[in-house]
Structure 1
Amino acid sequence: MKRIYLLSIACCTLSISLSAQENNGGAVTADSDGNRILSTDSLITPDACLDSIYQALPEVMITGERPIVKAAQGKLVYDLPRLIQSLPVDNAYDAVKELPGVIEMNGGLQLAGQGVTVILDGKVTTLSTGQLYALLRSIPAGRIEKAEVMYNAPARYQVRGALINIILKQSAGGSGSWQGELYGKYRQKHNEGFEERASLLYNKNKFSTDFLYSHSHGRSYSTTGKEAVHTLADGSVHPIATNEVNHSRSHTHNFRWGTDYNIGKDHRLSLVYNGAYSTVHNHMEIMGTQVSATRGNSSTWLHNGRLDYLTPFGLSAGAELTYYRSPSNQLLHSRMLDGKLSFYTEDCQRINRWKFFLAQEHSLGKGWDMNYGVTYVTGVDNSYQYYFDEESGMENGARAESADGEESQLPDDMHSRRHEQTWNVYIGFNKSFGDKLTIDASLAAKHYKTPVWNRWDWYPVLNLNYMPAPGHILQFSLSSEKEYPAYWATQDAVSYLGGGYSELHGNPLLKPAQEYGARMTYILKGKYIFGVWFAHTKDYSTQLLYQSSQRLVEIYKEMNFDYHQQAGIQVSVPFKVKNWLSSRLTLIGVWQHEKNSHFWDVPFNRKQCYGVARMTHTFTLSSKPDLKLTVAGFVHNKGIQGIYDLPTSGNVDISLRYGFAKSKAVLNLYCNDIFETGQINPRIRFKTQNVTNHYSCFREFGVSFTYKFGGYKEKEREAVDTSRFK
């Protein structure tokens, strides 16, 4: 009884001491950028007596849960490494998908049902979305320090709309140290695929450098079954039924080198180079109403270099150069009804783009900060596409001969040199009103000039953060943005897809899309996330299919809508069961409205409500050895895209993760899309349009191995014993 009595007194004393700390300080902290953050995980005390209590009572342990997310001036800061520490995530792209509200749709990332831009270390790059995703897939997840999520990015980030900023681990100074990671992966998805990756990071005093190389290669197999009823203007009806089989093999190399030199405090010079090279060889055969054989080859080269300079007085300047070249060729032989195609084509896209920027930030005192800057981007798209008749060798206007002797003109050759330039001038401010309220506002003026567009636009942005109590965050934002079409989508070119029944048309008059939106987000206890939003996008554009009423072809073309509207709600709830289960449930509900009054001869005005659910469960099977099982599921019910009807889709993934060698090595066994339900089969049943595409879907088995090494530090020397000194 005496021992229990003493233990009770000690516990009470400890509780009173901790309570006093919570009441008298330590609740408000600052991050590395100096932003004020409300945190519920601070345990800072000057009381030396507390050490004796821990030493006298080693069996007493205070446990708590650090918040996954914190708020800081218009952004949500996620502890992404802790969010993914038990998940089978091995690269930055997959890590981003684990952020609450982020889903992958149609090969791209969305945040709360809307498109999102991902950047590294606060640096907006001129890389395309696809190129950036390839870079993220090559970056080890272990390099991530944190993630900053902005549903509405301030103008100083030079990005419109939603933004995710991935902060990579940097040098902390001190003696020289090496860190690295080796990674290998084998997958089986009907055909085999491989990936090898190596990364290296070196830090010494004021200097740090990192190098990354990844190689992905293998074979792929896919099938597409098409069922269509094609109605022409003369009233004739043509049933179409084809089965397409595609075999391909590819090699992709990604490499990155970066270096930072810290001249002094807030005084840094940075240089980063990103490069990529890939080749793809494919062979396609189509049987049915159309009989064809196609062979194609393509390759891409990418070089991207960026130089940044940051000064102690808040001025930053930089320049970036991007070079991209993508030549390809195709040999096609096709016969459909009475028509025949036989030709060889060569095309290439070459982009040269330069970016220069200046930015200045000032601290005005009394919680006021000001920022302003200018960015200039200029680029040249030098592209061509040439057709050669396979039989005659004719070029430029080659003829395709039909079975009845009639000749039909192939698309004209295309050679284009388009110059584009953009000026972006902005000014903004942020202000903290005590510890509870912050405001971040900005206004940007942007001038966009191409051969067909020359105009100025204004973009106001407003973010409000209100923190009524520790662990409670209320965020409101108003946004405006403009999204520019891809280079090739604006070329006046026609390409053949498959065997020739499908054509891809460019649109030189494609307009940039303008989006305006509002969002409210509430975070409870630093982990439960609730959000509502509304967005209106004028001149929204996406690629849609149209069965021509004049000839027997279906045309894929990106066209501007009158508008695209979305209203949505998001809920993200994590929960744990002791130490053996960690789960997260994300629910998204969306109301969508799309209207296009000029879509060929079949204008549309459509509305649809749909829901998205994602759940991840991680079971700790054993702590020694470190063995974890993860089961993840995703479901998306019926949706629309233009005149497309998108059926319900979903997938279930499972993985077994084994960590050993003092957590330096991880072996991961996985199976993705167990029930082969992840691929959608879009269909069109709208007025005269009647098409259904059945895409193949295969489950994927795989195994990956990761080994981390390094962390060398200078040998510690024996120190003088001062334990008994005051």
Structure 2
Amino acid sequence: MKRMILIIGLAAFGAGLPAQEAADSLLTGDVQTDSLFQALPEVMVEGERPVVKALPGRLEYDLPRMIAQKPIDNVYDALKELPGVVEMNGGLTLGARGVTVVLDGKVTNMSAGQLYSLLKSMPASRIERVEVMYNAPARYQVRGALINVRLRHRIGDPGSVQGEAFAKYDQRHEASFEERASLLYNGGKFSADFLYSHTHGESYNTTDKEARHWQEAEGEAYSVRNHERGHGRNHTHTFRLGADYRFAENHTLGFVYNGSYDTSHYNQYTTGTQTATTLGNQESWLHDGRLDYQVPFGLKAGVEFTWYHAPGSQRLASEMEETDMDFYTEDAQRINAWKFYVSQEHQLKHGWGLNYGVVYSTSVDNSYQRYSGNEGLPSDMDSRRREQTLNVYAGFSKSFGEDLSVDFSLAAERYRTPVWDEWSWYPNLTATYKPSASHIVQLSFSSDKRYPGYWAVQDAVSYLGGGYSEVQGNPLLKPSKDYDVRLVYVLKSKYIFSAWFSHTEDYATQTLYQSPERLVEIYRYLNFDFQRQAGIQASLPFKIKKWLDSRLTLIGVWTREKDADFYDMPFDRRIAYGMAVWNNTVTLSTRPDLRLTLNGFVRSKAHQGTYDLPASGNVDVALRYAFAGKNCILSVWCKDIFETAGIDPYIRIARQWVTNDYSCYRSVGLSFTWKFGGYQEKRREAVDTSRFK
């Protein structure tokens, strides 16, 4: 019935109202697996002035103009307005594959999770422009898809202080809040910026689990029916301080510090086949400092240090099928990481460019996990694991007039851990052809390697869902290798079409497996033989006079995942699925400045590893009111109006039989933004912490 309501809602509201974002995340209960699609883009065109233009190897978007009339208050949400950008399980993808986001072309040690937290805390008004690369050249020190956010730099202005204050309230099942302040100082050759953000609130969720768990020794299946109810509260403090000094044109010294402190507390109660109580606490600290130096003849050098510490504890007591658990555990992860780089670029005659460089990074992971309680618990883990990566690259670019440009690079990389020590080669090629002002064609080939998270490769065991679920580490987890071919066509600087094919060797994802020896389900990252994916996408914006700005995005994907040694049940799964997003912005009035947006999203049934993912979708609506010379903005919204965004994954392969029914709640909230001092801020890069715990 909910699906029917969703479809009716899309048909009734889609033609006349705007939309902010479509969210559709895949959760596996207490653990998060790799995602299915969450939020799709929104883009293009205001009047006849183009918002995208083709440059050698990249597409450049006027993102501030694209979001000017939308209720978007942070950089993360602004990036979801780019064509082809989709939110997957709390992260961003470009053209259905992972994408790296950097600020001002600088890549740091921060993980994706910490980077996203930073982007969500930064005002969208700091964006100057955005560069999108489906295939990043080696000189960016990133492989694969890249989004480079260029920040507003105000060096050279007379001394001035500008700023922005922001507050948000969001009511899902429980309430959450955010307060943010940002300042920018400009004085001659010196520029500095400061940001502080505080998010806090409570959360509530439920899970209804039904399983038929086969036990080999008894030759029968146990019926498991559990109801889990969880409640949590958290506080997150994010802060950054940046400074630039410009000695002369293209001669700058820059420093940036990013930090965060997070604390969360949760309790979970399980009833049904199992009776359990779980109490947990988690903290994390991040300190990241980076120094960059650039000289006029194309030389760049930099150093970065990252320190991350995340201690936690858990108290669990449970009873199930005559098995009792009663224990207390403590664990922690501490990461020390260094990164050094030197690069050189030359602009030669006749449209030639040359670039080369060296990047060296090293990290030490000090982690432990200690149990105390009844018998049969996992052994304590105490680990010190070092990783080293040496990357040497060279590349060239060539422009053949204004119609054709080519960018090629080749990188050699050595990856060394206590388990792996290997060299890999990464060729990348992008060709851009503009037969006329109305047509842009871009063809690219890229190769990439994705490394597992630090905690995923530790020999650790954690308990979830009252103890029925185990999360196991995998010290032998391999990095995955990805190869991607992609064709992008831009028509009249607003209609965007793309097609792609990718092949990923040793594709790694977290999966669920019901053990036939014990009454426990196991979550563990494993390497599949491969994942293959082919897809097409169309982004179609249109306008009706000055009152409606709309865009329809259609995506079709075929995917195949194969694993010949997945426990005792090898699989080879194929499926084709589709997604559609309809985004609309309606100008209700210009005086007062009042805009309404409505987003609709639907996705057909899909697969993810051994999971089957039912169809899902959502409808969001928001109202934005700007006043006081647009220095004050008030926004109100209701997201997932019909509570249809949640996915309830299930497994029906061989003797594996499990269904997880997750709670899903609509979100209602409001926010207020105040800008002062003619606020135009600048932005910097974030730290890559995606692999941290």
TM-score if structure 1 supplies the norm length? Answer: 0.87
> What one-letter code is carried by the residue in structure 2 that aligns with 1:641?
Q
Q: Is the 8 A contact 1:176 1:712 kept in 2?
A: no
Which residue, 471, 475, 492 being the options, matches 2:459? Answer: 492
Deviations 1:651-673 (A, max 9, x none): 11100100000000000010010
Shift of 1:633: 1.2
Amino acid at match of 1:186: Y
Bigger drift between 113-122 and 446-455 goes to 113-122
After superposition, residues 68-147 of structure 1 pair within 5 angstroms as 68-147=51-130
Distance 1:299 1:132 in 2: 17
Q: Which residue of 2 aligns with 1:337?
A: 321
Q: Secondary structure at the match of 2:340?
A: strand
Are residues 1:507 and 2:474 paired?
yes
Q: 1:607-646 residue pairs with structure 2 within 5 A? A: 607-646=574-613
Q: CA deviation at 1:174?
A: 2.5
Which residue among 179, 186, 191 is the counterpart of 1:208? Answer: 191
Measure, in 1, the Cα distance between the counterparts of 2:326 and 2:569.
32
Conserved in 1, the CA contact under 8 Å of 2:164 and 2:679? no
CA distance in 2, matches of 1:283, 1:247: 6
- 1:469-513 Cα offsets, whole Å, 9 max, x none, are 113110000100000000000001110012100000000000000
Aligned-partner Cα distance in 1 for 2:444–2:438: 20
Q: Which 10-residue stretch deviates more, 415-424 or 163-172?
A: 163-172
- Letter paired with 1:457: S
Counterparts of 2:175 and 2:438 in 1: how far apart (Å)? Answer: 47
Q: Mapping of 1:668-707 within 5 angstroms?
A: 668-707=635-674
Residue type of the alignment partner of 2:117 = A
Distance in 1 between residues matched to 2:193 and 2:585, nearest whole Å = 32
Paired residue for 2:501? Answer: 534
Match of 1:14 in 2: none
What is the alpha-carbon distance in structure 1 between the residues aligned to residue 421 and residue 362 of structure 2?
Answer: 14
> Which residues in structure 2 correspond to 1:225-624 (within 5 Å)?
225-234=208-217, 235-389=219-373, 399-400=374-375, 409-624=376-591
Tell me the CA shift for residue 113 of structure 1. 1.0
Tell me how far 1:105 sits from its aligned partner: 1.6
Describe the SS at the equivalent of 1:624: coil
Query: Unpaired runs of 5+ in structure 1?
Result: 1-40, 42-62, 390-398, 401-408, 714-726
Opposite residue 633 of structure 2, the aligned amino acid is: V
Give the TM-score, by structure 2 length: 0.91
Decide whether the 8 Å contact of 2:155 with 2:246 is kept in 1: no
Q: 1:604 to 1:709 in 2, by over 3 A?
A: same
Q: 1:216-227, aligned counterparts within 5 Å?
A: 216-227=199-210
User: In 2, distance between residues paired with 1:308 and 1:670?
Assistant: 41
1:151 maps to 2:134: yes
Compute the displacement of 1:64 (Å): 5.2
The farther-off stretch of 165-174 and 700-709 is 165-174
Number of residue pairs the alignment of both structures matches? 636
Q: Does 1:652 align with 2:635?
A: no
AA paired with 2:652? R
SS at match of 2:348: strand
**How far apart are residue 109 of structure 1 and its match?**
1.2
CA distance in 2, matches of 1:64, 1:458: 45
C-alpha separation in 1, matches of 2:662 and 2:137: 40
1:396 paired residue number: none
User: Is the Cα–Cα contact under 8 Å of residues 634 and 650 in structure 1 kept in the other structure?
Assistant: yes
Instruction: Check whether the contact 1:177–1:711 (CA below 8 A) recurs between aligned residues.
Output: no
TM-superposition CA deviations, 1:436-469 (whole Å, max 9, x none): 0000000000000000000000000000000111
**2: distance between equivalents of 1:711 and 1:267?**
27
Structure-1 separation of matches of 2:67 and 2:646 = 25
RMSD: 1.3
1:208-252 CA distances to partner (integer Å, 9 max, x unpaired)?
A: 110011000011100011000000123121000000000000000
Equivalent pair of 1:476/1:521 in contact (CA under 8 Å)? yes
Deviations 1:74-111 (A, max 9, x none): 11111111111111111011111111111112222111
Q: Which residue type is aligned with residue 596 of structure 2?
A: L
SS at match of 2:115: helix
In the TM superposition, what is the alpha-carbon distance from 1:712 to its structure 2 partner? 8.8
Q: Residue type matched to 1:208 in 2?
A: S
In our comparison, the structure showing a higher alpha carbon Rg is 1
Asked if the contact 1:112–1:588 (Cα under 8 Å) also holds between the matched residues in 2, the reply is no
Per-residue Cα deviation, 1:123-146 (whole angstroms, up to 9, x for no partner): 011111111110110110011111
- The answer for unaligned runs of 5 or more in structure 2 is 1-44, 681-693
Q: Percent identity?
A: 60
Aligned-partner Cα distance in 2 for 1:594–1:711: 52
Looking at structure 2, the residues matched to 135 and 347 of structure 1 have their Cα atoms a distance apart, in angstroms, of: 25
Aligned residues of 2:632 and 2:674 also touching (Cα < 8 A) = yes
Aligned mates of 1:107, 1:677 — CA distance in 2: 17
Deviation at 1:172, TM superposition (A): 4.5
Instruction: Report Cα offsets for 1:240-294 as digits up to 9, x if no partner.
Output: 0000000000000000111111110000100000000010000100000000001
